[in-house]
Structure 1
Amino acid sequence: MARMNTAADEILECYRVLKKGDANIVGEILKGQGTFYEWDHYPEGDCYDSETHAQYYYHAHRAGEHGHFHTFLRKKGMRIGVEPVPYNGDTEWPTEEDEIICHLIAISMDSAGFPTALFTTNRWVTGENWYDKADVIDMLDRFIIDHSTPSWPANRWLTAMPIIFRPQIEQLIVARDAKIIEWQSQKPDVDVFEDRDLEITSLLEISVEDQIRAIKEVIGGRLD
């Protein structure tokens, strides 16, 4: 809980400095990127930390949101010995160390640049390697973007989000795997990981303000 409280303070600090400049998280990512096109990744080439091997990008293609962040951990950032789940389908999963990647959580954003939901996706959505829920949960602590490009407050905010919502994200990842198992049982002749009828595997609407307030109440602090 202490770690969640520290991350909550980090998010509040990011909001404070952005508000002073009349800016927001999404605006920081899109700044200087030219015309905003659906499906394109922002920033161009994604944001990648070469020390932690955490990665993210922002894009848009879903109704009901401005866009969303996808967060990842690459193979070099994972615990030694962690491997994807066995797969006997026809699709080729990434095999090179620099290409192997695991999707952690996606964050929906509204037009004002604030988060509205967390969700997980099927394998085909991001072209990831599929890891068991326990391994993905273990990877959450390793998602750290520790540099200033494209935006220091945005990177700090994205690093803190999986921490303050850790309990909910763990539940979403568990629900993700349960959905895959359920879907496969209903369509045994279909490669569940490549089924375009299954895109979102779990979703939860969120409020950062409510989450921080709950954390502060447990800690015994207060929300200024």
Structure 2
Amino acid sequence: MRLASVAALPETCRPVSPQLAALSGDTLEMMAEAGSEIVEIYRVLAKTGDNVVGELLRGADTFYEWDHYPPGDVYDAETHAQYYYHAHPGDQRFDGEHGHFHTFLRPGGMPPGVKPAPVPPGDLPVDHDERLSHLVAIAMTPQGLPFRLFTVNRWVTGETWYAAEDVIAMLDSFEIDHARPSWPVNCWISAMMRLFRPQVVELIRARDRAVEAWRSQRNPPDVFEDRDLEITSLLEVSVTDQIQAVNYALNR
């Protein structure tokens, strides 16, 4: 992970923690329900000494760096949401990271009117279904707990680039609503997207500011393919702290 690319960006490109008290009651209730769902998933997995990462990797004899888990990714044919888990080599990971989830939405699940952002010629896949958008990545500790959310430049995942507000409009469509390969993990990652929705929104907006700042500072031939810009925004998170903050905002 090229954290140096984030450090080189202006402070205005960094995401800010949203003020939860400013959110509507309905939004806070939705986040509270997601938090309760995550806590219940943790409770059930803990009874057998499991966590969401171990549950997803169950049956894999060896965990190989760069490989997608599960093979072929997890894809919901109804919602067109998709995710996978993988890890980079040790010297390319965040401190304390085991690996991370990448989340996506394919065109079939995108809201009407959403179109790819203007990009250099040849950057747009010919196959319409391959024009998927990356939403956010979730970094996990060796204990199987999320500790950081981040966004990436386009070359990292091979995604198609959509403007920040269009990506934000996609967030509510992310849902993995089937049992395979793991119902607990599918429910967990869907709930994570709801619990941390305000933070994900800020990260996506910071992503676009970072790309524009990088383009302005360095003037690369194609900013979306510049290998020196990998991580475009990141934010430390805690499920426990987020649930407490949501409950505090609701009680107010």
TM-score for both structures, normalised by structure 1: 0.95
Give the distance between the partners of 1:182 and 1:10, measured in 2 at CA: 38
2:45 maps to: 18
Which runs of structure 2 are paired with 1:185-204 in the superposition (5 Å)? 185-204=216-235
Whether the 8 Å contact between 1:93 and 1:127 is mirrored in structure 2 is no
Q: Which runs of 5 or more structure 1 residues have no equivalent in the other structure?
A: none
Q: Which amino acid aligns with 2:57?
A: L
Instruction: State the 1:220 CA deviation.
Output: 2.9
Higher relative contact order, structure no. (Cα contacts within 8 Å, ≥ 6 residues apart): 2
Whether the 8 Å contact between 2:84 and 2:102 is mirrored in structure 1 is yes
Q: Which amino acid aligns with 2:124?
A: W
Whether the 8 Å contact between 1:39 and 1:60 is mirrored in structure 2 is yes
2:63 maps to: 36
Instruction: State the 1:80 CA deviation.
Output: 2.1
User: What count of residue pairs does the alignment treat as equivalent?
Assistant: 220
Structure 1 counterpart SS, 2:130: coil
2:203 maps to: 172
2:135 maps to: 104
Structure 2 counterpart SS, 1:98: helix
2:7 maps to: none
Which runs of structure 2 are paired with 1:137-176 in the superposition (5 Å)? 137-176=168-207
Cα RMSD (Å) of the superposition? 1.3
Give the distance between the partners of 1:28 and 1:217, measured in 2 at CA: 32
Instruction: State the 1:95 CA deviation.
Output: 2.7
Q: Which runs of 5 or more structure 2 residues have no equivalent in the other structure?
A: 1-27
My pick for the range that moved more, 120-129 or 60-69, is: 60-69
1:92 maps to which of 104, 119, 123: 123
Give the distance between the partners of 1:172 and 1:40, measured in 2 at CA: 26
Instruction: State the 1:218 CA deviation.
Output: 2.0
Moved over 6 A (4+): none
Instruction: State the 1:188 CA deviation.
Output: 1.8
Whether the 8 Å contact between 1:67 and 1:108 is mirrored in structure 2 is yes
Do structure 1's residue 125 and structure 2's residue 167 form an aligned pair?
A: no
Whether the 8 Å contact between 1:93 and 1:128 is mirrored in structure 2 is no
Give the distance between the partners of 1:22 and 1:189, measured in 2 at CA: 48
2:24 maps to: none
Change (3 A) 1:100 1:181: same
Do structure 1's residue 9 and structure 2's residue 36 form an aligned pair?
A: yes
Give the distance between the partners of 1:56 and 1:210, measured in 2 at CA: 25
Change (3 A) 1:27 1:187: same
Give the distance between the partners of 2:242 and 2:48, measured in 1 at CA: 25
Whether the 8 Å contact between 2:120 and 2:222 is mirrored in structure 1 is no
Q: Which amino acid aligns with 1:2?
A: E
Give the distance between the partners of 2:123 and 2:39, measured in 1 at CA: 42
Whether the 8 Å contact between 2:220 and 2:226 is mirrored in structure 1 is no
Instruction: State the 1:37 CA deviation.
Output: 0.4
Structure 2 counterpart SS, 1:167: helix
Instruction: State the 1:151 CA deviation.
Output: 0.9
Give the distance between the partners of 1:115 and 1:140, measured in 2 at CA: 19
Give the distance between the partners of 1:7 and 1:133, measured in 2 at CA: 24
Do structure 1's residue 55 and structure 2's residue 82 form an aligned pair?
A: yes
Instruction: State the 1:207 CA deviation.
Output: 0.8
My pick for the range that moved more, 80-89 or 31-40, is: 80-89
Whether the 8 Å contact between 1:184 and 1:190 is mirrored in structure 2 is no
1:80 maps to: 112
Whether the 8 Å contact between 2:139 and 2:149 is mirrored in structure 1 is yes
Q: Which amino acid aligns with 1:122?
A: N
